[in-house]
Structure 1
Amino acid sequence: MTSRRYTVRVTKDELVFSAGHFITFNGDECERIHGHNWRVAVEVDGPLDENHYVFDFIALRDLTRALVAELDHRMLLPDRNPHIRVGVEGRNVVCRHRDRLWSFPAEECVILPIENTTAERIADHLGDRLRAAIASRGMPFPRAMRVSVEENFGQWATAHWDAEEDGG
């Protein structure tokens, strides 16, 4: 008997956000500020439900779109990077790396609970938020999920979760 696996994938023009960032690399080097038109794709695996689908495409799109909208036209900053200090000073977010200092209007920033604003960590952050959104709405949890972020044409990073590996 063959076993069937089912996957639903959502990636749409509305799952794109424009945002600035900079990362540290080679230890404690820090690149210049720049931006991307990031694209997000989400895949979920699981059995078919009573409606014969894995997950509602529209619900998955809408949940993802809401998370993507929070990042659109913002400066993305990491709060767990050991080489970049990020803090709020008055109405601004101030970042420091060695002798460099940046100041951004707070309402134009998103401080992410990640170590570096790489595509990998942004994908992981979006996946964590998406899993929490699914759980908070009492929706059936997928067997596996992949969130991919394209930071530049043809350059994708993907974070994977598997319920069986997570003990779920």
Structure 2
Amino acid sequence: MADLFEGDAAYAIRLGKQAFTFSAAHFITYAGDTCEPLHGHNYRVAIEAEAPLDANHYVLDFIATRDTLAGIVRRLDHRMLLPTEHRTIRVQKSVGPTGGHEVVVTHGDRRWVFPAEDCVLLPVPNTTAEKLAEWIGKTLLQALEQNDAPRPARLTVEVDECEGQIGRCRLG
């Protein structure tokens, strides 16, 4: 890993803007295999990136990083967030009786059907704030790499699901 220090200084940027908010529905399992009711949150996302300064004397370009993160967050806005790697929640795409694409979700004797265009299928085992933070962080790192931006030495992503209930993931 690159040395974060330059002399006696370490550098990081933090982004936490209104543009990084999204409203979405989900449900999780807890206490073993208990499935909570379907509900929604007004999520807020913030990131902190740590790295040595580049040739321009910044960690990451604020504008490019802001725009990339805002695009990722927009993909989640007003959607049903579904985990595709859960042990007992089954998520299947299908064609409905009227010919439209839908997503059928089952857990035990519970069953939900959603229009496919309203869903985001996430490769996570549960749609907790922590796992959403990890997915957002990995997606951001991949997008930065595709745009030839430097990879930060550490990226911390916070997902606030309810005014102070924050899940955090640090990728390094």
Deviation at 1:161, TM superposition (A): 1.3
Between 73-82 and 138-147, report the one with greater CA deviation.
Answer: 138-147
**RMSD, aligned α-carbons:** 1.1
| Aligned residue runs from structure 1 range 133-152, under 5 A | 133-152=143-162
The match for 1:154 is 164
* Deviation >6 Å, runs of 4+: none
Contact 1:6–1:48 (Cα < 8 Å) also in 2: yes
- Deviation, 1:50, is 2.1
Identity percentage of aligned residues:
48
1:93 equivalent to 2:103? Answer yes
Code of the residue aligned with 1:139 in structure 2: it is: A
In the TM superposition, residue 60 of structure 1 has moved relative to its aligned partner by 1.1
CA distance in 2, matches of 1:37, 1:100: 25
1:71 aligns to 2:81 (yes or no): no
> Is the CA contact (8 Å cut-off) linking 1:74 and 1:108 kept in structure 2?
yes
Aligned match of 1:17: 22
Is it true that 1:121 corresponds to 2:131 in the alignment?
A: yes
Residues 40 and 147, structure 1, Cα contact 8 Å, conserved in 2 = yes
Structure 2 residues without counterparts, runs of 5 or longer: 1-5, 96-100
Other-structure match for 1:166: none
2:39 aligned to which of 29, 34, 40? 34
Structure 2 SS opposite 1:152 = coil
Report the equivalent of 1:45: 50
Partner SS, residue 92 of structure 2: strand
1:59 aligns with 2:64: yes
Counterpart CA distance in 2 for 1:50 and 1:82 is 46
Corresponding residue to 1:103 among 97, 113, 121: 113
Equivalent residues, number: 162
Amino acid at match of 1:68: V
Cα distance 1:2–1:52, how it changes in 2: closer, same or farther (>3 A)?
Answer: closer
Mapped contact 1:24–1:83 kept (Cα < 8 A): no
**Partner AA of 2:81 in structure 1:** L
Unaligned runs of 5+ in 1: 163-168
Counterpart residue number, 1:165:
none
Match for 1:97: what amino acid?
H
> 1:111 deviation in Å?
0.5
> Aligned-pair distance for 1:83?
1.3
Q: CA separation in 2, counterparts of 1:86 and 1:140? A: 36
Deviation at 1:3, TM superposition (A): 2.5
Other structure's SS at 1:35 match:
strand
